[in-house]
């Protein structure tokens, strides 16, 4: 598991989320997706986390081209709708910690407000 994914998972667990599923049998635009479940606010509420591939990437190892992480309330079947979900975090070097905290905060706010 890539370092940024370990950091994301750790932050999610610290904030009351558990990893339910990892799926890498995906289309070209997503490297893999996770299904996470809340263990606190709105216990059992699920979100899907997408690891988005740069649309201009032409290689075969999608893990080298992940440019952003998004979260949505349901499975998305195209890149544009996945980008327009609950939260979106680009993976800019040097700003990951700040963006990671803001990303997880958005998930927690969304869940606490009881949005569907």
**54-82 residue pLDDT tens:** 999 998 899 999 999 999 999 999 999 99
**Rounded to 5 degrees, what angle do the CA atoms 98, 80, 82 make?**
55
CA distance 15 to 11: 6
**17-56 residue pLDDT tens:** 999 999 999 999 999 999 999 998 789 999 999 999 999 9
**With 60 as the cut, is the pLDDT of residue 6 above it?**
yes
pLDDT, position 116? 52
**Contacts with 24 (C-beta within 8 Å, 6 or more apart), sequence order:** 31, 32
Q: How confident is the model at residue 115 (pLDDT cuts 50, 70, 90)?
A: low
């Amino acid at each position: 598991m890539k370092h940024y994914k370990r950091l994301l998972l750790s932050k999610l667990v610290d904030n009351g989320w558990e990893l339910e599923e990892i799926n890498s049998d995906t289309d070209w635009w997503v490297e893999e997706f996770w299904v996470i479940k809340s263990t606190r606010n709105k216990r059992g509420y699920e979100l899907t986390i997408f690891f988005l591939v740069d649309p201009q990437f032409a290689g075969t190892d999608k893990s080298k081209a992940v440019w952003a992480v998004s979260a949505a309330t349901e499975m998305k079947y195209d890149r544009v709708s996945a980008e327009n979900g609950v939260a979106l975090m680009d993976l800019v070097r040097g700003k990951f910690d700040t963006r990671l905290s803001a990303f997880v905060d958005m998930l927690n706010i969304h869940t606490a407000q009881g949005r569907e």
